[in-house]
Structure 1
Amino acid sequence: LDYLDLKEKLTLVVHDWGGIIGMAYAIKYPERIKRIIIMNTAAFFPPGNKKLPLRLRIIRDVCPFARLAVLGFNLFAYSALFMATKKGLSKDVKSGLIAPYNSWKNRIATLKFVQDIPLSEKDPSYSIVKHVDENLHKLSNIPMMIFWGSHDFVFDLSYLSEWQLRFPDAEVHTFSNAGHYVLEDEPDKIIILVKKFLENHPI
């Protein structure tokens, strides 16, 4: 963003791993952020000492299995095509989502980002998550809209509750028939709501 030298204020839209990345940027440069849209993500430690789901713990901690499953068979990206959506994805969308991960080399980032999920102070990203977790309140005056797919085996409704606890003024829309890929499951409804949100909070 510094390279692009953007002068106008930004609308920050975050999902999944983008939550911690985007909110870390917003905390560093709150004056640059005009509006925030959140979708099935976190920018804080798991609420209530929630444990990492078993599927992710296996990939994170069982290195020999993880390397073969993720790097060799692209299991992480393929499983998301079915587990992250409630309504199913079209053939074209599936192809698009796995296209970047077409070789062992191109799947390394997929493995590394799961292994980088911080669970203790010894993990490299722990300090970043801790900093964001402790400073989210600095964004409380920025208009926020939250979209949440209820069927998410990682970012379940306890994560949504945590967002609402920290940002009680946020406009929240929960979709009971959507999964982690909430925008894929409910695109028409979300697009209408986003347009209205942007109109109500012009830059």
Structure 2
Amino acid sequence: MYLSEAKTLSTPRGTFTWREGGDSSGAPVVMIHGWPESSYCWEHTGRHLKEGLRVIAPDLRGLGDSERTEGQQHYMKQALAEDVVSMLDELGIREFQLVGHDWGGIVAQEVALAIPERIQKMVIMNIAIINNLKGNMEVIEKVRSGSGKAYWYQHFQQAPGLAEAMIPGNEDTWIRFFVNGVVKPIPEDAVAEYVRMYSIPGTPGAGASYYRAFKEDAKRWATLSGHKWKIPSLYIYGNKDKVIIPEYLNHIEDCFEEIRVEQVDAGHFLQEEKPEEVAGHMNGFFDAR
């Protein structure tokens, strides 16, 4: 399936864009992108998904063609999940299967906390599990024992005003630094789309706000150590990731009643390096109609 051009949708929470593809009467699959990407990140994976699925891919606030909003409180992941839920309500999507990659994987988990009764299955890709306090602390210890240089971009964006001052005019260099594939190049059409997106005024600050909100996000997640996901789940891991290191997988089986982990020989942006393989894992997990 090919995803549509971005469509605009207004909800009580704001104006957002989204893409869809597949069978309009199929089983809904909501696919949430991460940073510095947009709903377009599912374009190539979508081409390999099985029949009987309806893909709904929102652009998160501040990215894609959704509204740019000032104020880091709007980019707390619980707030971004509320945006997604408001879009699904507007579209009349009640029950669905859920996918999230990178920050989109965090937003997906926040959606699952908010409306667990509406989610049939969940796929998380290359991001922390927010209730895995034990495993996430082991990651912090591992990073502190080394140089931590892979995380420089997070600190850069958390610094007030730097992203807004230094990224405009350098969007192509900025995007290509991050999304170059580790095992296989990311499709050039996707790279061009993210460069276009980052050239929209307000995007550098909005994108940085995902990281500026992290401190407050972490306070919330620290309260979730006793939570256990009841939703049947699949974790697909691009095992060449330099930021989401293997220690993030430690103890995740304790966080779910039912979890399967599949590894893909790819970097962080696995769904664009290995779209057919990633789609294959999803096809084996999702229910179609």
Per the alignment, residue 148 of structure 1 pairs with 237
Establish whether residue 29 from structure 1 lines up as the match of residue 120 from structure 2: no
Establish whether residue 47 from structure 1 lines up as the match of residue 137 from structure 2: yes
Per the alignment, residue 128 of structure 1 pairs with 220
Deviation at 1:134, TM superposition (A): 3.0
Q: Distance in 2 between matches of 1:11 and 1:31?
A: 11
- Which structure 2 residues correspond to residues 1-203 of structure 1 after superposition, within 5 A? 1-7=88-94, 9-44=95-130, 46-48=136-138, 50=140, 51=143, 53-63=150-160, 65-74=162-171, 76-82=174-180, 85-118=182-215, 124-131=216-223, 133-134=224-225, 136-137=227-228, 139=229, 141-167=230-256, 169-175=258-264, 177-199=265-287
- Identity, % of aligned positions: 22
Q: Which protein has the bigger helix share?
A: 1
Contact (CA 8 Å) 1:69, 1:76: kept in 2 or not?
no
Q: Secondary structure at the match of 1:148?
A: strand
Q: Distance in 2 between matches of 1:109 and 1:78?
A: 19
Contact (CA 8 Å) 1:36, 1:143: kept in 2 or not?
yes
Q: Secondary structure at the match of 2:242?
A: coil
Give the 3 Å change call, closer, same or farther, for CA 96–154 of structure 1 in structure 2.
same
1:128-176 Cα distance to aligned partner (Å, 9 max, x none) = 3334x43541x2x32111110012122111112243342374121112x
Q: Distance in 1 between matches of 2:208 and 2:107?
A: 17
Higher relative contact order (CA 8 A, sep 6+): 1
Deviation at 1:26, TM superposition (A): 0.7
Q: Secondary structure at the match of 2:243?
A: coil
Q: Distance in 2 between matches of 1:127 and 1:72?
A: 35
Deviation at 1:95, TM superposition (A): 0.7
Give the 3 Å change call, closer, same or farther, for CA 130–19 of structure 1 in structure 2.
farther
Per the alignment, residue 121 of structure 1 pairs with none
Q: Distance in 1 between matches of 2:91 and 2:200?
A: 30
Q: Secondary structure at the match of 2:156?
A: helix
Question: What code does the residue aligned with 1:27 have?
Answer: L
> TM-score, normalised to structure 2's length?
0.57
Q: Secondary structure at the match of 1:41?
A: coil
Contact (CA 8 Å) 1:70, 1:110: kept in 2 or not?
no
1:164-193 Cα distance to aligned partner (Å, 9 max, x none) = 342374121112x30011111221122122
Contact (CA 8 Å) 1:150, 1:178: kept in 2 or not?
yes
Per the alignment, residue 60 of structure 2 pairs with none
> TM-score, normalised to structure 1's length?
0.79
Deviation at 1:104, TM superposition (A): 4.2
Contact (CA 8 Å) 2:105, 2:124: kept in 1 or not?
yes
Give the 3 Å change call, closer, same or farther, for CA 126–172 of structure 1 in structure 2.
closer
Give the 3 Å change call, closer, same or farther, for CA 194–29 of structure 1 in structure 2.
same
